[in-house]
Structure 1
């Protein structure tokens, strides 16, 4: 099963198909990604995505002067491998100096809690291109495996939010994702939050999501 923010590498046939159907203004970026064998990002499925296809995205760094995001629809057979979003520990290697100390402390305090990165920090780590700016956030994925881990992870993110521009999502079993700041601000089990998963965007109660963790 593919999850939003996973990293997907295309095989040669996949790249050939992507380039054959590309708009002229997208061809250079796609050629660059193919040449370096950089991954694309798994995105939410669109209504036109048929069974056996995968929705992928590519975002150019801001220093290109173009805020260009390319959406691709490829056959699953065009994908040579898929990996989960980059572990935060790996992405932290390219973090600017102002984040280095707090990030190291966050990782030390996380203990068994696994945090992964997506967005600008992860893209810069994967490609070496300049995605990070002075206003960039640190987009994290936190996938708790129990209610205790959910509460501990949320406490961890709250503790470090004053020191780091933390953003991102809590991902519940089955791929239901909620912005961690929205979850933090939700009041009571009957509170409704915006949920994103592989196929839809919907509203759900915090109680129903906590139930997924047993």
Structure 2
């Protein structure tokens, strides 16, 4: 089972196929990823993806303010291994000095709550390349196992958001993901929120998502 934002490493045959089918302007970036054994990132499945296809992506560091993302649909058998998004504790080492103390406080407050990073902070930690800018957010994944953990995690993010540009998603059972800021603003009123699944986007009430943990 694959989830959005998972890290996927291709096999040698998988890289050979990806390079053979790459657009000429993408070949150098793909070869760089292959030579360093850097992972690709699992993206939402596209409607036209064939059975057995895994939709992966590669985001390059910003160039003159532009972000280039390369989509790579590959056969599932081309994946050598897959791991969840990078733990925030591991990604924090790549953070700029201005985030160091607030991130340490966030991690200390998290206790048993597992926070994972994706986006610019995670990619900079994985590759060492310059993804972070002055306007970058910290994209986090939070996967609660109970209603108590959901409420505690949201409160944790609310507490530390004034000191850090926290963004990202709460991931409910089955992979239903909701932007944590949207959840924060909607949960008290049981309004509908935008849910990103593995292959679709839909609206759901906050109560129906809480029921997944109840």
- TM-score range with shorter-chain normalisation? over 0.9
Partner residue of 1:25? 25
Deviating above 4 A after TM superposition, structure 1's stretches of 4 or more consecutive aligned residues are 63-66
* 1-structure distance, mates of 2:187, 2:122: 31
CA-to-aligned-CA distance 1:10-69 (integer Å, 9 cap, x gap): 011111111111111111100110111100000000011122110000010014775211
**Equivalences, count:** 214
Matches within 5 A, 1:1-214: 1-63=1-63, 66-188=66-188, 190-214=190-214
Contact residue 40 and residue 57 of structure 1 kept, 8 A: yes
* 1-structure distance, mates of 2:187, 2:13: 50
Q: Please give the secondary structure, in 1, of the residue aligned with 2:174.
A: coil
Contact residue 192 and residue 204 of structure 1 kept, 8 A: yes
Q: Please give the secondary structure, in 2, of the residue aligned with 1:101.
A: helix
RMSD: 1.1
TM-score, normalization by structure 2? 0.97
Structure 1 unmatched runs, 5+: none
Distance apart, 1:187 and its partner CA: 5.0
Contact residue 144 and residue 150 of structure 1 kept, 8 A: yes
* 2-structure distance, mates of 1:75, 1:111: 38
TM-score, normalization by structure 1? 0.97
Distance apart, 1:190 and its partner CA: 3.4
Structure 2 unmatched runs, 5+: none
* 2-structure distance, mates of 1:30, 1:67: 16
CA-to-aligned-CA distance 1:109-141 (integer Å, 9 cap, x gap): 100000000000000000110000010000000
* 1-structure distance, mates of 2:190, 2:210: 11
* 2-structure distance, mates of 1:101, 1:3: 31
* 1-structure distance, mates of 2:148, 2:174: 18
CA-to-aligned-CA distance 1:162-194 (integer Å, 9 cap, x gap): 000000000000000000000001054531000
